């Protein structure tokens, strides 16, 4: 049995911040941001009640309703995030409590923007082993709390939000998947944890906010995502045009355009929401999946290829039948 997606959900904070809003706060412009990234606006949390947990719960509830399953049917909850509210307990355990998913084992994964794919592939492995039949996976980020609002080269890129999928064991779900990591490249995208106040250690000066070498990440993304897609297609004995929809990590429209060009495919096979969401890291793929599902774009039997890359460095992809 493989993991089949039987329900999706998402949540975006109510507050929308446009490029113009940002240009009132820092030396940037709508023209720069739009032409380099395709981003026009992003949703950001704007109250203490809107948290990583609350967004995850909202997305999870919505996916459960869409699937027709009840919280007590869920046996596994995996939350992909690098911006949990607490170091412990995990966001997944807190989601379990809020949903009343009393039969679920719950844990978080940290694979940055590839996190949703790592969660999906992990759940799929449990299904293949015959351990679970029903799972809820969530990608959620409140990156607004870990980005440096004084660094215009990163803060204009990101948004907050959550996306979720309910999975059921089925002979016809995931067809092929892969994931990988290269810790050697980790220094191009990193964020240190809280400042250490252990009195026996001299505190170093590494910043507590997200650091990114944008150009290195750009090159890695285009190369690695294209390779992942080609590898999955070859595993499945398919050619690029056989796939109905490519749902790529929504980091930058120029990355998506480059990959479409390399695969010699029209851009209309690559739905995108980076324009109104920005880069929501682990949440970007499930938010996009939920948007296109709810807009009626998906037909039963469609072949969908999900692919993402992120800090770590990490990458992951999955080819599945809708």
Kind of pairing between the strands at 2-11 and 161-170: antiparallel
Q: Which residue, 7 or 278, has its beta carbon nearer to ligand UT7?
A: 278
Does 310 interact with ligand UT7 (rule: CB under 6 A)? yes
List 19, 43, 113, 252, catalytic entry: 113
Residues in the interface with ligand UT7 (CB under 6 A) total 21
For ligand UT7, the closer of residues 214 and 275 by Cβ is: 214
Whether 196 is a known active-site residue: answer: no
CB of 309 to ligand UT7, least distance (A): 7
37 binds ligand UT7 (CB under 6 A): yes
For residues 246 and 229, give the distance between their C-alpha atoms in angstroms, rounded to a whole number: 9
Residue from 74, 165, 217, 274 touching ligand UT7 (CB under 6 A): that is 217
- For ligand UT7, which stretch binds (CB under 6 A), given 29-37, 53-61, 116-124, 192-200? 29-37
Task: For tokens 């023209």, name the residue.
Answer: 31
* CA 134/CA 252 separation, integer angstroms: 33
The Cα–Cα gap between 144 and 140 comes to 12
Cα–Cα nearest to 296, from 259, 315, 271, 278: 271
Binders in 100-139 for ligand UT7, by CB under 6 A:
113
The residue among 174 and 221 lying less far from ligand UT7, judged by its C-beta, is 221
Whether 113 is catalytic: yes
Q: Which two tokens stand for residue 295?
A: 């807009």
- Judge whether 37 and 44 are in contact, CB under 8 Å: no
The alpha helices in the chain, defined as continuous H runs, are: 19-23, 30-37, 52-67, 91-99, 115-128, 152-155, 214-236, 253-262, 274-277, 284-294
CA 287 from centroid of its chain's CA atoms: 8
Q: Partners of 139 in the beta sheet?
A: 80, 163
| 276 a catalytic residue | no
Among 6, 21, 32, 73, binds ligand UT7 (CB under 6 A): 32
**Interface with ligand UT7 includes 279 (CB under 6 A)?**
yes
Q: Of these, 15, 34, 36, 276, which contacts ligand UT7 (CB under 6 A)?
A: 36
Catalytic residues: 113, 249, 279
Where does this chain bind ligand UT7 (CB under 6 A)? 28, 32-33, 36-37, 113, 152-153, 156, 212, 214-215, 217-218, 221, 251-252, 255, 279, 281, 310
């Amino acid at each position: 049995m493989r993991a089949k997606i039987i329900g999706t959900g998402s949540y975006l904070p109510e507050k929308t911040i446009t490029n113009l809003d940002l240009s009132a706060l820092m030396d940037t412009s709508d023209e720069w941001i739009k032409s380099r990234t395709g981003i026009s606006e992003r949703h950001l949390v704007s109250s203490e009640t809107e948290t990583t947990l609350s967004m995850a719960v909202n997305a999870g509830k919505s996916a459960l309703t869409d699937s027709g399953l009840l919280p007590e049917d869920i046996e596994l909850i995996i939350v992909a995030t690098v911006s949990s509210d607490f170091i412990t307990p995990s966001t997944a355990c807190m989601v379990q409590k809020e949903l009343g998913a009393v039969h679920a084992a719950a844990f978080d994964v940290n694979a940055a923007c590839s996190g949703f794919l790592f969660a999906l592939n992990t759940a799929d492995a449990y299904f293949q082993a015959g351990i679970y039949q029903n799972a809820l996976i969530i990608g959620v980020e409140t990156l607004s709390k870990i980005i440096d609002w004084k660094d215009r080269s990163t803060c204009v890129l990101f948004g907050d939000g959550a996306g979720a999928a309910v999975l059921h064991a089925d002979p016809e779900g995931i067809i092929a998947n892969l994931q990988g990591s290269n810790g050697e490249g980790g220094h191009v995208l990193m964020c240190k944890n809280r400042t250490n106040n252990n009195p026996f250690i001299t505190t170093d000066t590494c910043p507590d906010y997200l650091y990114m070498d944008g150009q290195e990440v750009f090159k890695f993304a285009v190369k690695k995502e294209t390779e992942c897609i080609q590898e999955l297609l070859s595993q499945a004995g398919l050619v690029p045009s056989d796939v109905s929809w490519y749902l790529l990590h929504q980091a930058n429209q120029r990355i998506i355009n480059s990959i479409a060009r390399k695969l010699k495919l029209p851009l209309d096979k690559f739905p995108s929401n980076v324009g109104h969401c920005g880069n929501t890291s682990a949440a970007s793929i499930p938010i996009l999946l939920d948007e296109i599902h709810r807009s009626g774009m998906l037909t039963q039997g469609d072949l969908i290829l999900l692919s993402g890359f992120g800090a770590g460095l990490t990458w992951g992809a999955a080819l599945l039948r809708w």
